[in-house]
Structure 1
Amino acid sequence: MTALLTLLLGATAVLVPPGASSDPRRGAGTRSALAQSAALVLGVLLGITILHLPWWQIAVVALTAGLWAALARFAPGPRVTLGRWIAAIAVVALCAAIQDGRAGAGVQRLADLCRAAGCLLLLTTPANRVVTDLLGIARGKARTQSTDVLEPEPALRGGRWIGPLERVLMLLLASTGAHQAVAALIAAKGAIRFPEISKDSTETKAEEFLVGSLASWTLAALAAVLLTR
């Protein structure tokens, strides 16, 4: 149950970007709706035919993932995004606490793969969005459009790559028990950003660094706990 829920949350978060229904591009809303429906249908089929989940578990997973995707499409505000993530984390934690481990070895391996794929999907662009929204709320302003950033980006757009790569790397290291490497990664990031932060007399960069980094690391840590429980 937890594996299927995590996979569907990750798939719909990637396939159905926030504000898709208001995208001015022709057919964007239709494509998003089709992507959402396809992900949910495939997830239900996976749960029935391969994971052999009870009907009530499949219903809970489909309902939760459907609400997650619908809110992402029609209510992309930053506070709604944070609320979505908090609610989803609570539901996943509840499912992980109540589910049993009586599945066969083959089914369990597939469930582990689904759980890992869902975590990896959630830690990429979807995690970027929630960290951006959290920073926007901390700054006292929010995204006004369905974009991933609050300010113009440089041509390289390194932030869009650094965050996901950092979270995925921390997840891999934590899942393999390399906790010293995780600590080294955190220290290296702080050392790299220190010159920029030290030049800021307003201390806003330090606050943004801490808020953004702690939020990003928390998401990676939650994913690691889910994979190693």
Structure 2
Amino acid sequence: MTKGWRKKLDKDAALKWAGTWIGYLERIIILTFVLHDQYEAIGLLIAAKSLLRFRDTDDARPQTEYVLIGTLASVAGALIVGELFKLLVAAMK
């Protein structure tokens, strides 16, 4: 989903694979929160992540927007999977 923007980022600006691992962990954490009905914690996670990007300069704007798109896609995907899983479990009872 973010492949088009990935090419515009400076490859030396970050650790190799760091964003990928952050995304995996973020989705696991959000899915866990959904399964435990801890939606407030998801908001806290998003707020904490956006604080990390708060001091970005205008030069880093494309990277910030790329991270925000990835974060929102990650959150939406994890929420949808979590809710579908809960519906499936409820239907099986």
TM-score of the alignment, normalized to the shorter chain, above 0.5: yes
Please say if 1:186 is aligned against 2:53: no
Larger Rg: 1
Q: What is the DSSP-based 3-state SS (H/G/I as helix, E as strand, rest coil) of the residue aligned with 1:177?
A: coil
**Structure 1 unpaired stretches of 5+:** 1-133, 142-149
Give the CA deviation at 1:212.
1.0
* Residue 68 of structure 2, aligned match among 210, 215, 229: 210
* Residue 154 of structure 1, aligned match among 15, 18, 29: 15
Residue matched to 1:222: 80
Q: 1:184 to 1:226 in 2, by over 3 A?
A: same
- TM-score scaled by structure 1? 0.33
* Residue 169 of structure 1, aligned match among 29, 37, 58: 29
| Matches of 1:180 and 1:159, distance apart in 2 | 24
**Structure 2 unpaired stretches of 5+:** 88-93
What pairs with 1:133-148 in structure 2 (closer than 5 Å)?
134-137=1-4, 139=5
Q: Which runs of 4+ in 1 moved over 4 A?
A: none
Give the CA deviation at 1:216.
1.0
Percent identity over the alignment? 31
- Compare relative contact order (CA 8 Å, sep 6+) and give the higher one, 1 or 2: 2
Give the CA deviation at 1:151.
3.7
RMSD, aligned CA: 2.4
